[in-house]
């Protein structure tokens, strides 16, 4: 097992495991952490998993790990790895089971003080309009043909039905639709799971949260995003539901034979992979993109439902109840991107698992109003703690494959959290602090207690200190809806 003395300190926010640490490593591991967070990370296998990822065929130096890292399936949550498209591999475990789990931020012109008498009604309305919980079915029961359209069109499927605006899509990563999705590469079992779950929140760490914009750090960026101190905002955190989970499950199994076929030697079979340019690799990427598009559409439908709830509660009570979209960003995704490596452009597959794309100023695909600033980054905290709006930087392009953190990062397993925390007591504590809670189960609530996670403020201070993101605004929760 790796020890602290094996890791080289670069500065207060950056450390390195050299490629010489283990003979099979093809790249170094760059860690964006404070010493305290680094010492805590030695308690699980996240660093060992990052070292294992540095052995993948075609991996490009460095593998990057964020301060919210914790142990995942084969690859650490909070990890980023880029592999050459020409001779590298794609690994489902390095992208994650909940493909395109991500965050959408909507903002309002509703002052918190004006909304205060209606927040309990708002929590109930959001809970009613946005179904949540394990296996929950929503109001959209799709035929197989309709599901295939969602896989190909993503959020554009919602636009065609009047459930989205062009601005929503413009302010969504990839315009809410990844090219190259192929529903024919998705199993029947995955489609059956996905057919009835569109427009639902799910369970686990997924939530819908009403926040008050507590503090602005970058007035220019906040103005461009329509964020005003003291006003309400809404965060939606969810992904591709059982559809994406089943796709990952299928390909983790299917690619075991590809590892043998192509003579790939792995230190951990959970890193199962296939060459990007092989039939198996292309099939996985096509199915992954289908799940990503499903997730973009899912968050769009939840945004539409949330707007209905805001209208029901605030129409006639406030002057402007409208929710405008700030941005929608993925944090479990594999993307083909071109990055500058050793002074030359290189096409790579960037695996981000529990890490957020954070492109800097000038990126042409950003909405015009954000292009000179950089890409918005949304960092949800644990329930009852702050969430953050950040912005990508030029440094993130140079040091971290245009990536930054995605959240707080677990310190307690779900099983341990349920043993140590009572859901009823937690709900009462949150309510006493003025946070209106709607939860599908008390055990599910306990799993996601604030003490089960790292301090999101410390995580954000770390990425800001490292220069791989810049602070824009801090949000404080006033209502939380969980499955």
pLDDT tens digits for range 202-226: 888 899 999 999 999 999 999 999 9
Conformational region of residue 416, where left means phi above 0, alpha means psi within -120 to 50, and beta covers everything else? alpha
Question: Mean of the pLDDT values across residues 10-30?
Answer: 98
Is residue 408 very low, low, confident or very high in pLDDT (cuts 50, 70, 90)?
confident
Buried b / exposed e along 255-290 (16+ C-beta atoms within 10 A): beebbeebebebbbebbbbbbbebebbbbbbbbbbb
Residue 416 has pLDDT above 90, yes or no: no
Say which residue, 446 or 182, is predicted with more confidence: 182
Residue 450 has pLDDT above 90, yes or no: no
Cα–Cα dist 80/100, whole Å? 14
Question: Mean of the pLDDT values across residues 354-375?
Answer: 97
Cα–Cα dist 167/309, whole Å? 20
Is residue 406 very low, low, confident or very high in pLDDT (cuts 50, 70, 90)?
very high
Q: How many CA atoms lie within 13 A of 327 on its CB side?
A: 30
Cα–Cα dist 74/76, whole Å? 7
Residue 409 has pLDDT above 80, yes or no: no
pLDDT at 84: 98
pLDDT at 449: 75
Query: What percent of the chain is predicted at pLDDT more than 90?
Result: 86
Cα–Cα dist 73/75, whole Å? 6
User: Tokens 């500058």 map to which residue?
Assistant: 340
Question: Mean of the pLDDT values across residues 457-482?
Answer: 97
Output the six-digit token pair for 54.
């540095």
Mean pLDDT of the chain: 95
pTM above 0.85, yes or no: yes
Is residue 189 very low, low, confident or very high in pLDDT (cuts 50, 70, 90)?
very high
Contact assessment for residue 53 and residue 45, using Cβ atoms and an 8 Å cutoff: no
Is residue 448 very low, low, confident or very high in pLDDT (cuts 50, 70, 90)?
confident
pLDDT at 446: 80
Residue 137 has pLDDT above 80, yes or no: no
Question: Mean of the pLDDT values across residues 411-431?
Answer: 81
Question: Mean of the pLDDT values across residues 443-447?
Answer: 80
Instruction: Spell out the residues 6+ positions from residue 285 whose beta carbon is closer than 8 angstroms to its own.
Output: 90, 180, 276, 334, 349
Contact assessment for residue 181 and residue 157, using Cβ atoms and an 8 Å cutoff: no
Question: Mean of the pLDDT values across residues 191-206?
Answer: 92
Cα–Cα dist 11/34, whole Å? 9
Is residue 421 very low, low, confident or very high in pLDDT (cuts 50, 70, 90)?
confident
Say which residue, 443 or 376, is predicted with more confidence: 376
Residue 467 has pLDDT above 80, yes or no: yes
From 206, 304, 351, 406, the catalytic residue: 406
Residue 417 has pLDDT above 80, yes or no: no
pLDDT at 418: 75
Q: How many residues in the chain?
A: 483
Output the six-digit token pair for 9.
């300190």
Q: Are strands 8-11 and 29-31 parallel, antiparallel or unpaired?
A: unpaired
Is residue 135 very low, low, confident or very high in pLDDT (cuts 50, 70, 90)?
confident
pLDDT tens for each residue of 65-119: 999 999 999 999 999 999 999 999 999 999 999 999 999 999 999 999 999 999 9
pLDDT at 322: 97
Cα–Cα dist 92/94, whole Å? 5
pLDDT at 405: 97
For residue 206, indicate whether it is catalytic. Answer: no
Residue 419 has pLDDT above 90, yes or no: no
pLDDT at 426: 86
Cα radius of gyration (the chain): 21
Output the six-digit token pair for 98.
């909940």
Question: Mean of the pLDDT values across residues 463-482?
Answer: 97
């Amino acid at each position: 097992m790796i020890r602290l003395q094996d890791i080289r300190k670069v500065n207060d926010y950056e450390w390195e495991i050299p490629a010489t640490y283990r003979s099979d490593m093809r790249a170094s591991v760059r860690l964006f952490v404070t010493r305290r967070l680094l010492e805590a990370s030695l308690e699980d296998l996240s660093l060992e998993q990052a070292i294992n990822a540095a052995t993948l065929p075609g991996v490009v130096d460095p593998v990057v790990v964020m301060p919210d890292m914790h142990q995942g399936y084969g690859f650490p949550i909070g990890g980023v790895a880029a592999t050459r498209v020409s001779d590298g591999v794609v690994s489902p475990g390095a992208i994650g089971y909940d493909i395109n789990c991500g965050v959408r931020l909507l903002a309002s012109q509703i002052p918190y003080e004006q909304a205060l008498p209606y927040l309990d009604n708002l929590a109930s309305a959001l809970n009613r309009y946005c179904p949540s919980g394990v296996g929950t079915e929503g109001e959209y029961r799709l035929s197989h043909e309709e599901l295939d359209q969602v896989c190909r069109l993503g959020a554009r499927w919602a636009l065609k039905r009047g459930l989205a605006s062009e601005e929503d899509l413009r302010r969504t990563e990839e315009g809410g639709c990844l090219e190259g999705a192929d529903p024919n590469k998705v199993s029947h079992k995955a489609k059956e799971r996905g057919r009835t779950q569109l427009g639902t929140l799910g369970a686990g760490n997924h939530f819908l949260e009403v926040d008050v914009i507590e503090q602005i750090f970058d007035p220019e960026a906040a103005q461009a995003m329509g964020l005003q101190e003291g006003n309400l905002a809404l965060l939606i955190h969810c992904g591709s539901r059982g559809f994406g989970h089943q796709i990952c499950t299928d390909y983790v199994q299917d690619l075991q034979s590809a590892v043998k076929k192509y003579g790939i030697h792995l230190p951990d079979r959970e890193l199962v992979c296939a060459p990007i340019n092989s039939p198996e690799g292309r099939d996985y990427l096509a199915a992954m993109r289908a799940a990503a598009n499903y997730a973009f559409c899912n968050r769009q439908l939840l945004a539409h439902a949330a707007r209905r709830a805001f209208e029901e509660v605030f129409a006639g009570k406030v002057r402007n109840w409208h929710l405008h979209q700030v941005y929608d960003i993925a944090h479990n995704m594999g993307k083909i991107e071109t990055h500058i490596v050793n002074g030359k452009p290189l096409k790579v597959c960037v695996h981000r698992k529990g890490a957020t794309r954070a492109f800097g100023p000038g990126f042409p695909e950003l909405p015009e109003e954000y292009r000179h600033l950089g890409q918005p980054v949304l960092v949800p905290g644990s329930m009852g703690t702050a969430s953050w709006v950040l912005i990508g930087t030029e440094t993130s392009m140079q040091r971290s494959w245009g990536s930054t953190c995605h959240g707080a990062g677990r310190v307690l397993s779900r099983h341990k959290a349920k043993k140590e925390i009572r859901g009823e007591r937690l709900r009462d504590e949150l309510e006493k602090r003025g946070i209106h809670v709607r939860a599908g189960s008390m055990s599910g609530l306990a799993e996601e207690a604030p003490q089960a996670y790292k301090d999101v403020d410390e995580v954000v201070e770390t990425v800001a200190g490292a220069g791989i993101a810049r602070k824009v605004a801090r949000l404080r929760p006033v209502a939380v809806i969980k499955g």
